[in-house]
Each structure stands twice: as structure tokens, then as C-alpha cells.
Structure 1
Amino acid sequence: MNVIKANGDEVPFDEERIRRSLRRVKADPDVVEIVLERVIGKMYDRITTSDLYSIVFAELKTLQRGSAGKYNLKRAIMQMGPTGYPFEKLIAALFDADGYTAATGQFIKGRCVTHEVDVVAAKGDLLYHAECKFHSFLGKVCNIKHALYAHARFVDIEKGFASEAPRKGGIYKGMLVTNTRMTSDAIAYGTCAGLGLLSWDYPQEKSLRGWIDSTGLHPVTSLTSLSVKSKRQLLERGIVLCRELKGSPGILAEIGLSKQNIDDVMDEAYAIFETVTAED
């Protein structure tokens, strides 16, 4: 049987790829095989990757919610929109987890103009300025134009810093961040120009997906026990990460959830925490 990818390409069905994706989100070994068996039973020739994903997710959700929430990460991040502010907060939290001091929405004076920088992260003499390109739909990518724009802004900021004596001697790095993918031209330009790049699957050694999984900083939109409306209400109240519920579960009652629903949400959130703790 063949599978139709989002770009229209037709490729053979690869059950090992599904097995790897389930293992990556720490599904139990027996759950992996049960899900795969059920998926194969529902497969049909020329199924789209989107429909295939939906089947895998639905089956995993019935067996292991914590892993299902992690499996749903790409779409969960897209649900953080329509604005990019929650995504920027997620990126700042990832930097914080790596020992940086990060802030969002900072206005920084360049040599020519003042720029609003999505995320600024500092550790010692190293200072990152990250331009975040958030996409709410599958298929959207960051291309060479995004890389050129981000680099031009960074160069102006860097030259502005160089003109200020107190800031001389620091290491300044620009960065382009997206929740989807980058084109080969964008990656080639960023690599050549010294622009940091972070996308869903790049760089391979520390992609956005890998960074989130390794830190356990999953967005509240990952939680399968929350309705779309409830997720939106939490984001509107500034609750972006599952871990933020750990310190303030009362906010779930504030948005109208029943005690049973609150228990389900917290159980799922803790299941995500526990899989990360087990890895550590």
C-alpha cells in the first residue's frame, strides 16, 4: 500500500516509521504493537499522511493519553495561534530551561531603526535575538525571504550594539525560529551567513521537536482531555505550558471544568511530566 504525502508525492507505507514515532513519545512496547496492528487494519491504498496520522493518534489516545499528547505535538503547537505570542513564550521557556535568561517582545535599538525582537535570550556573554515565524497550518514553510529578513534585522541590531562601548566584547547571534520546516535555500543561507536556525526538524541534533521532548515543555494544547475552547481560554490567560498547570490547577475550575475533567487533565499533564522524568 502507498501513502500520499502533503506535497503530493506517493511513497510506500512504512510501518517501521510509525513504530519509531510511537517509541519516540515513550509509548509502552505493547501499546506500540497494538496501535500498529489496529492502524494496519484500517489502512487503505493511497491514504493521505494526514488521515494516517489521525488514525494513529486516535488509537494511541484510547490506550495511553500521555504519549498521545506528545505524539500530537506538531498540531498542538499550531493550535497555539492565531497570534504568535504563545509560541514566543514557549521558545523563551526552552531557552530558560537551557540556563538562559529569556524575555519576549523586547524593543532593541539598531544602528538604523528600533526593532521589536520576539525572543531575547542571554547567558554569560552570549546573547541571542530570535525572530519567530509561527504557522497555524500544515504545509507552510520558512523560505529564503524569511531568512534574509531575519538576518537583515540582526545585522542592524549587531551594528547598533557595536557602537555602544559597554556592550563591546559580547557574542551576539541572530536566529530564525519556526514551528514548521525550512526550505533548503533558507538553511543554506542561514548556515552561510551565521544565522541560527531552529525548525520542527532542524537541526537534527536539537530540533524544536527534540528540544521540547527533552525538556518536557509541552504546550497545554497537547492535552487531549481539553476541548479546543478550554485550550483557547488557557492561552488567553497566559497559560501556555502543561507544567504551568502543575502550580495552578485552580485555573481549570476558573474556566468552567468539572472536577472529573480537571482530574483527567491533571492526570494527563502528569503523565507527560513522568515520561520526561523517566528519561532523565
Structure 2
Amino acid sequence: MNNIKIKKASGVIEDFSSRKLLDSLIRSGTDRDQAGEILEKITSEISPYMSTKRIYRLAQKYLRQFNRATGLRYSLKRGLMRLGPSGYPFEKYFGEIMRQYGYHVDVGIILEGKCVKHEIDVFAANDREVVSVECKYRNNAENAPDVKVAMYVHSRFQDLRPVMKARYPDRTFTGWLVTNTRFTSDAIQYAECMGLRMKSWRYPDGNSLEKMIESKKLYPVTVLSTLNSYQIRKLIDHRIILMKQLAQMDERDIRRLLSITGNKAAELKHQANELCFCE
């Protein structure tokens, strides 16, 4: 398919890239042959100026026809968007990611800096380092955190640094800025110049947010499109935010918590097991 235009979530018009779509299908866990078949099906349905959201839904549909777990993995970006409408579920989710990486974690605490107090979204510590995390949840891709956000967050970390160094003299202190979408190019340029660590969708290469998630299969329960917002909130309120935590629940507890049938609870548990290979 040559020179067909598609529309990104930001409204930008760009050329459709079959290579980018193929790569994303392979990253979801599909083998190359299956990915090629799915690509052919999708490209046959793409029309000029189709939205990337619509293309994503086509990919998700065909992935699920081949393999349901692979389809769920492809739903990760959308699942991160569903960690709203406030930013607090995303903060709890990233705190759980850090906990799974061996950190002791506190979410939503107040720390005294050299000059003023700061509300910290996620505070994580292990034997080697102490990490203060500022989480910026966005419910659409157009509102990417920009350089002003990076500068503000960096200044807060600089105020915390001398206090943290005094309190934890045997550990390094780092500040992280994390978003569920992407950063603007000037935010990245500033962060790389100033040494501010940032994580987002596809950034940095090899150690991005989705890489942290995929390497330990830390998928949020929001990848399940069959869950409504009330059920998601009930799970998160009961500290069930990862699919692997859902997989560890008893079917009867799932049924009672979400007010669903036994068959539905069994299906949710099976999907969770299938995705994180817990069975």
C-alpha cells in the first residue's frame, strides 16, 4: 500500500507505514508469519485518512482471532489510557510496577525539601537507590507533557536532593518523570541535557514504560475491555491492579467483588492466567 495517508490521535496526517504496523504486531508476541497475515487483513481495510485508533482496533480484532493473550498485550496502550479519569490509579499502578522490581514503595506522601514541602506520587527505595517519581497521567495523546512540566519537576527534585542525600547517605537519589503517553521533543531534549530520568511509551529506547511492563508481564487489569469503569475501580480499591494479581484470586472472590456470574469470573481468571502465564 503506497502513499496512503492516515490520521494520528494528535490530528497530524502522515503516510501509513506497513513496517511500523508489522513491528508493533510482532512486539505484541505474534510470530512473524501470523503478523504478516494480520497485516494483509488490516491493509485491505485501510482507507485514506483512517484514524490510527481505527487501525489499532482492526489489529486488536485480528490478533484476538489468532491468539487472545496476544490481543490483550496489544491492548496495553489503551489499557494505560483507562487508568483514569484522575491520575491516582496510574500512580498506584506505577507504584506496583516499582514494587515488582524489588523496591519498597509508598504512594502519595509528603516529603520535606530544602526549601518547601513536596507531594510525591511514588517514593521507591531499595538497598542501592532512592527514587522520587512524578507521574503525569494523560487521557489523550495530544496533551503530552512538555518542557515546562520537565523543568518544574526537575526543580522539585533538586530541592529534595540535599535532604535525601543526608537521609540516605549510602544510596543514590534519582528523580523520575513518568507518563502513560509520550513526551514532547523539547521535554526529552531538556531531560537529556539536565540528567532528568523520564519514562514514557517508547522512551527511552530499550528501557521504556512498556518494556518495564512487558519484561515482567505487569499488565494492568484495564487491558480487559470486558471490565467497565465501576469494576476497574472496585479492583483497584482492593489493591488488584495487575493481571497477575487477578489471576491469583479465587473465582468466588472475583464473582463477589465484581458482582458477576461464576462463568464470567472463571473467564476473567482464565484470561489473566493466559496473559501472564500464571497457570
**1:251 maps to what in 2?**
253
For residues 150-189 of structure 1, the aligned pairs below 5 Å read: 150-162=153-165, 164=166, 166-189=167-190
Q: Does the 8 Å contact 1:70/1:272 carry over to 2?
A: yes
The residue aligned with 1:222 is 223
Aligned residue for 1:42, secondary structure, equals: coil
- Residue matched to 1:234: 235
CA distance in structure 1 between the partners assigned to 2:89 and 2:231 by the alignment: 15
Cα shift readout 1:148-201 (whole Å, capped 9, x = no counterpart): 111111111113335x4x533431111111111111211121122221111111
1:125-136 superposed matches below 5 A: 125-136=128-139
Give 1:131 deviation, angstroms: 0.6
Amino acid at match of 2:205: Q
1:107 aligns with 2:110: yes
TM-score normalised according to structure 2 size: 0.89
2:67 is the counterpart of 1:64: yes
Cα deviations across residues 116-140 of structure 1 (Å, max 9, x unaligned)? 2111111224111011111122322
Shift of 1:52: 1.2
Matches within 5 A, 1:28-177: 28-29=31-32, 31-162=34-165, 164=166, 166-177=167-178
Contact 2:220 2:241 in 1 (8 A): yes
Q: CA deviation at 1:224?
A: 3.4
Q: Secondary structure of the equivalent of 2:44?
A: helix
Offset of residue 99 of structure 1: 2.6
Tell me the TM-score normalised to structure 1 length.
0.89
Q: 1: CA distance between counterparts of 2:260 and 2:150?
A: 42
Q: Report deviation, 1:231.
A: 2.4
Shift of 1:228: 4.2
* Percent of paired sites with the same residue: 32
Aligned counterparts of 1:138 and 1:120: Cα–Cα separation in 2: 26
Q: What SS does the aligned partner of 1:103 have?
A: strand
Given residue 48 of structure 2, which amino acid in structure 1 is its aligned partner?
D
Q: What SS does the corresponding residue of 1:32 show, helix, strand or coil?
A: helix
User: Following the alignment from structure 1 to structure 2, what is the Cα–Cα distance between the partners of residues 245 and 134?
Assistant: 23
Question: Which residue matches 1:11?
Answer: 14
Question: By how many angstroms is 1:222 displaced?
Answer: 0.6
* Structure 2 CA distance for aligned equivalents of residues 167 and 122 of structure 1: 10
**Contact preservation (8 Å) 2:111, 2:120:** yes
- Return the match for 2:27 from 21, 24, 28: 24
For the aligned residue pairs, the C-alpha RMSD in angstroms reads 2.0
Deviation by residue 1:44-88 (Cα, 9 ceiling, x = unmatched): 122111111122112223332211111111111111111222211
Deviations 1:227-276 (A, max 9, x none): 444323323333211111122234321211212212221221112112xx
> Larger deviation: 126-135 or 51-60?
51-60
Letter in 2 for 1:55: L
Letter in 2 for 1:251: D
Structure 1 residues 229-238 or 134-143, which shifts more? 229-238
Q: Could you tell me whether the CA contact under 8 Å between 1:225 and 1:261 is conserved in 2?
A: no
Larger RCO (CA under 8 A, 6+ residues apart): 1
Q: CA deviation at 1:25?
A: 1.1
Say if 1:138 and 1:180, in contact at 8 Å, map to a contact too.
yes
Mapped partners of 1:118, 1:62: distance in 2: 39
Name stretches of at least 5 consecutive residues in structure 1 with no aligned partner: none
* Structure 2 stretches lacking a partner, 5+ long: none
**Structure 1 CA distance for aligned equivalents of residues 141 and 50 of structure 2:** 17
Report if the CA contact (8 A) 2:141-2:182 is conserved.
Answer: no
CA separation of 1:265/1:115 partners in 2, compared to 1, >3 Å: closer, same or farther? same
Q: How many residue pairs end up in the alignment?
A: 273
